[in-house]
Amino acid sequence: MARLFDLGLSNVELWRSEEMQLVQLMVPAESAHDTIGALGDVGLLQFKDLNAEKSAFQRTYANQVKRSDEMARKIRFFHDQVEKAGLALGIRPLPDKVYDMDELEAKLEELEAEMLEVNGNSERLMRSYSELVELQLVLEKAGSFFDQARMDAQSENLDRSYSVPEDMGAPLLESALPVSGGQVENKAGRLGFVAGLISQDKINGFERLLFRATRGNMFLRRSAVGSVKDPATGELVEKMVFVVFYAGERARQKILKICEAYGANRYPFPEDPSRQRQMHGEVTTRLRELHHTIETGDRHREGVLQQIAFNLDAWAGQVRREKAIYHTLNKLSMDTSKKVLVAEAWVPVGAKPRVVEALRQSAEASSTRVSTVLQPLVTGDQPPTYYRTDNFTYSFQAIVEAYGVARYREVNPAVYTIATFPFLFAVMFGDFGHGLLMLAFAVYLVANERKLLRQQLDEIFGMLFGGRYVILLMSIFSIFTGIIYNEFFSIPMSLFGRSAARCVIDGVPRQEVTDLRSCPELGGTVSFVRGAPPYPFGVDPVWHGTKAELPFLNSMKMKMSILLGVVHMNLGIMMSLYNNNYFKDRLSTLCEFVPQVIFLNALFGYLCIAIVYKWITGATTDLYHVMIYMFLAPGTVDEAGHLFSGQAALQVVLLLVAFVAVPWMLLPKPLILKKRHEATLRARSAYDSVDDEESRGLVAHGASTSAGHGGGHGHGDHFDFGEVSIEGHSGLDRHVNGINTFAMEIDSDIAVGRIEVHVRGLKSSQPERFAGKKRVSIVGAQVRFKKPVAAADLCIGQEMFSELTVPVWLSEALLTLAAKTLSSTTRVSARSEPRYFMNPVLAACQLINVARPGEEPGMWEAAEDARLMLPGAAGAGGAPLGADERRKWCDVPANIAGAVFSPDYVYTFHCWQHYVNLSSYELAIGPLRVDCAPVMHRSPMQITVKDVGTGAYAFSVMLWHERALYGARAGAGGIDAGKAAALGRLVNGVRGLLSRS
């Protein structure tokens, strides 16, 4: 089936996303920056955030990120200054000088301080210059007011005679003229004026408020001066010079407040004309000096900005790169010694050689003594989707991902989009002339691709350049569809000869009439002659310009759109079939693909067939009528809806099939998945409630912490387990995910891989592992070592952390006796912390398989074969020894001396035992049953694999049981309080007898 529908697409590189692998990188802290920078240059790693529980301010490199943000802020400030100055950003292959980050930070700080100082000086100078310009305008305009007033006064004095003495002390008001005895009643207030500039759009409101505030006791003169740069804002504003005359100090105070409220700038104006001229000259001189100073400052500022502009892009790129490096470093976890950073990243399998080469070059460049360690990780997480694109396919992939990203290894719709997207555009846009214009533009973009890539394009043109290959294909398809529509800039074409229509006069086609537009004048009609051949290609140009053009073309394009739409829907459903075949999802094929195809084609496929049949036969059947009455009156076909014989029966069958497909498509798959889920829950349900007195189980160490993170187990916010809960740990203090499950991923100081633990009698374990066997617990592991480990030192067994209930000498004697009885290679210690009882893995495990990476078998499909590691462990003809023979052979210390577990191989181990029943916490030796709860007081059973030479763990699985916690749970419903107290007294009594002996 897969080969039948493959169509060779599996050989297309873009057809499926790249195969991804999760890798772990152990990066020395001193070279972490250079290493991440080198990996960033490769650009093919997606790092996982191992510090998701930390806020941005709690991360290791938060200060460095903050420092990069501050440098980025300064660069944005320089960018704004360069744009305001109207300078172009220089594009150089390399900056004037390559700075390291410390030097660049100092350089940016120095330039920022210089720019702030230059800007401050420039603003102050410009403000002073603008104020002097306004003062100059006031002196000119207000001076003209007073000159005009003097001229008017002189002319009035010549024509008017006063009845009062003409001396300088004479009053101006008639009410103050001399009376009875020549005394003058002085009721006039002191006159004054205020001069300045105000915005032209505020002058009317300003004048009205002055009039009301002074009750008309003021006189305002004003004159427009055009656009003036405002000293406060630096913007050009239409302004007017004003002079307000008033009488009295009270009026003056009101006028000053109103000026302040309206933002009017007031300037001093002397009354003496000579002083006015002197002041005008001084202002003009100062303006010339300021202008020269401002020009000098602008040249200096432009020089500084020009230097910045040439290097700004390079500096911005360097800062962005630095920030990205530290942002990535914040995703890495730091080991307890703070000497190694641990990273997890997804990388395309095909790109691993490039990553390894980048790590090698980074290590050489940084001169570090320890290089970065890269090793694959086994995980059940969904890998990210990555497609390797080029300049041509990138824009089409971007179009697809604008709607959604396919899941890992699903088929990529972009492969079809390369053809379908431009073609569907052309169906709507099709025009030969417009297509040629688009083609010319696309050819220009493609021909100048390299030159334009080096330029900094604006947003609109950059978007068009990014889609240059899309535009190229759209133009080619538009030319093609334009030929089909026979349109050139909406003008009909006749590229393929004369129209198939003829001018029919008196029922006779007239071949001599070539211009069909003159046919009505000759008394004929334009029509198609039955039996005549159709137009060779595309739409007959005779339709253009006729009354029937719009109905004909709309009908044709609508039917063509239906055909293309149904084809595309079928294409989408076919892509789901490709996915189902690839992922071997037969359920989706049967319960989704098949009913979808049936439903779509039983209705819309039938419509497409009817359209094509109507075109071929030339029938005049109304297809709307056919589809409507297919539902309203199934089994009956009237004359208006008749297409072919047997149509009624066929429509009934198709309708019934479509109705059957709907529940087939909606119900079976959810129900089957629900059953599977329930079966999985029954198979993996490994605990009962600890509040149930009949349940057996434990509360795992750190369970509340795991619950706080959700854990993904669906057990709520607390973990009150039944039966057995499993917790793992490694030398990096990174706990195994998956509490109360039998499958776990491990990643420790010396090994990485996967382990499974099965205990007889627990719902979470698979029953087939124990069928027909006496074993009570099984451990399977498939690991790869990170560094060589001596075979004699890698041991499996039990560590004990609890307080001794017997004297040390007795415990040591008993353990030594047991060790000598079991094996000559058993290692015991009763005086160390922790105490242990362990055997070499080679002598203890019931199955060992050693294979090269990529050739390893499944964990439970592995067969005994340790020849790659132990060449001497081979039988006759080089065949591998059996498990029992290999264990006896490895029980001799001399046989495994010098052997190592190498990082170059993948190791599969099986280990089981028949004595300690972990589900009941009992030791069974023949008919003897010993309760382990008092002995293992508050301590777990362990399955530990450890390098006893260095103390490093490969993994350690601690299996807790509720009954081991009786001291903490007595009287709490865990076990009977009386039994717990009696058992505690018995143990204390035995301890006292042994201590006295």
Please state, as a whole number, how many other Cβ atoms lie within 10 Å of the Cβ of residue 11.
Answer: 8
Distance CA 488, CA 495 (A): 11
| Per-residue confidence band for 377, with pLDDT thresholds at 50, 70 and 90 | confident
Closest by CA to 261, choosing from 193, 213, 192, is: 213
Count CB-CB contacts under 10 A for residue 424. Answer: 17
- pLDDT at residue 97 above 70? no
For residue 75, which amino acid is it? I
Mean pLDDT confidence for 475-492: 89
Cis amide prior to 834 (ω within 30 degrees): yes
Q: Residue 400 above 80 pLDDT? A: yes
| Closest among 844, 796, 814 to 944, alpha carbons compared | 796
Strand-pairing partners, residue 847, are 910
Find tokens 């359920």 and name the residue: 587
Q: How far is CA 235 from CA 87, 223, 231, in A?
A: 21, 20, 8
| DSSP string of 115-153, one letter each residue | HHHHHHHHHHHHHHHHHHHHHHHHHHHHHHHHHHHHHHH
CB neighbours of 870 closer than 8 A, spacing ≥ 6?
842, 886, 889, 890, 895, 896, 899
Give the span between the Cα atoms of 546 and 254, in whole angstroms: 80
Least reliable range by pLDDT among 7-11, 56-60, 381-385, 419-423:
7-11
From residue 304, how far is each of 116, 298, 697 by CA, in Å? 12, 10, 75
pLDDT score for 953: 86
Is a pLDDT exceeding 50 seen at residue 186?
no
Are the C-beta atoms of 329 and 60 separated by less than 8 Å?
yes
**How far, CA to CA in Å, does 388 sit from each of 15, 134, 197, 348, 410?**
10, 66, 67, 10, 14
Centre a 10 Å sphere on the Cβ of residue 513 and count the other Cβ atoms it contains: 17
More confident residue, 507 or 894: 894
pLDDT at 31 over 60: yes
pLDDT in tens, 590-649: 999 999 999 999 999 999 999 999 888 888 888 888 899 899 888 888 888 888 888 899
Helix segments in 262-351, DSSP class H? 273-329
The region, left, alpha or beta by phi > 0 then psi within -120 to 50, assigned to residue 308 is: alpha
Q: What is the pLDDT of residue 470?
A: 94
Asked if residue 716 has pLDDT above 50, the reply is no
Give residue limits of the domains in the chain.
20-110+301-376, 391-494, 551-675, 743-968
Q: What is the pLDDT of residue 812?
A: 67
The reported pTM is 0.58
Task: With cut-offs at 50, 70 and 90, classify the pLDDT of residue 155.
Answer: low
Q: What confidence tens digit (pLDDT) does each residue in 755-812 have?
A: 888 887 765 566 666 766 778 888 889 999 988 898 888 888 877 766 555 566 666 6
* Residue 659, H or E segment: helix 647-666
Using an 8 Å Cβ cutoff, are 330 and 112 in contact?
no
Q: What is the pLDDT of residue 567?
A: 92
Range of weakest confidence among 53-67, 262-276, 675-689: 675-689
- pLDDT > 90 fraction of the chain, expressed in percent and rounded: 21
- In angstroms, the CA 763 to CA 686 distance is 5
Note the Cα 366 to chain centre separation in Å: 31
- So what's the pLDDT on residue 938? 57
Q: What is the pLDDT of residues 208-267, one digit of tens each?
A: 999 999 888 888 888 888 888 888 888 889 999 999 988 888 888 999 999 999 989 999
pLDDT at position 560: 87
Tell me the pLDDT band of 833, cut-offs 50, 70 and 90: low
Mean per-residue pLDDT for 389-413? 90
Query: Residue 110: what pLDDT?
Result: 92
The reported pLDDT for the residue numbered 658 is 93
Residue-level pLDDT at 347: 93
Question: Per-residue confidence at 732, pLDDT binned at 50, 70, 90?
Answer: very low
| 367 has pLDDT over 80 | no
Region label for 976, one of left (φ > 0), alpha (ψ between -120 and 50) or beta (otherwise):
beta
Other Cβ atoms within 10 Å of 275 Cβ, number = 11
Least confident of 3-7, 17-21, 607-611, 892-896: 3-7
Q: Residue 986: what pLDDT?
A: 43
Q: Which stretch of 425-429, 532-536, 656-660, 729-733 has the lowest confidence by average pLDDT?
A: 729-733
- Determine the average pLDDT of the residues in 974-995: 43
pLDDT of residue 176: 46
Three-class SS state of 111: helix
DSSP state of 792: T
Q: pLDDT class for 704, splitting at 50, 70, 90?
A: very low
User: Is 745 a residue whose pLDDT tops 90?
Assistant: no
Distances (CA, A) of 201 to 204, 257, 267, 275: 7, 19, 20, 32
pLDDT digits (tens, 9 = 90+) for 525-567: 777 767 677 777 888 887 777 777 788 888 888 888 899 999 9
CB atoms < 10 A from the CB of 449, how many? 13
Q: What is the pLDDT of residues 971-981, one digit of tens each?
A: 333 444 444 44
Contacting residues for 505 by C-beta, under 8 A, at least 6 apart: 513, 519, 522, 523, 524
Q: CB-based burial of residue 150 (10 Å sphere; 0-12 exposed, 13-18 middle, 19+ buried)?
A: exposed
Q: Per DSSP, which regions of 742-776 are E strands?
A: 743-747, 751-759
- pLDDT of 889 reads 84
Taken in order 495, 497, 498, 501, the sign of the CA dihedral is negative
Would you call 547 exposed, middle or buried from its count of C-beta atoms within 10 A (0-12, 13-18, 19+)? exposed
- Token duo for residue 546: 């006729």
- Higher pLDDT: 57 or 938? It is 57
Assigned token pair, 435: 């297509």
Average pLDDT, integer, range 883-896: 84
Structure tokens at 635: 């089994």
Q: Where are the beta strands (DSSP E) in 884-963?
A: 900-901, 906-913, 916-917, 922-925, 928-931, 941-947, 952-960
Average pLDDT of the residues of the chain:
78
CA distances, 583 to each of 408, 571, 575, 669 (Å): 11, 19, 12, 16
SS3 content of the chain, % helix, strand, coil (to 5): 45, 15, 35
Q: Are 749 and 732 in contact (CB under 8 A)?
A: yes
| Separation of alpha carbons 659 and 656, rounded Å | 5
Give me the residue label for tokens 């305001």.
84
Q: Which amino acid is at 465?
A: F
Q: How far apart are the first and last CA of the chain?
A: 79
Answer whether residue 697 shows pLDDT above 90: no
Query: DSSP string of 509-522?
Result: EETT---GGGTGGG
Kindly report which listed range (15-29, 376-390, 427-441, 771-785) carries the lowest average pLDDT score.
Answer: 771-785
Q: For helices 459-466 and 394-401, what crossing angle results, to 10°?
A: 110
- Using the predicted structure, report yes or no on whether residue 298 has a pLDDT greater than 50: yes
**What local confidence, expressed as pLDDT, does residue 94 receive?**
52
Whether residue 780 contacts residue 943, with contact meaning beta carbons closer than 8 Å, is answered with no
Q: What size, in residues, is the chain?
A: 997
> Environment class of residue 430 by beta-carbon count within 10 Å: exposed (0-12), middle (13-18) or buried (19+)?
buried
CA 889/CA 843 separation, integer angstroms: 8
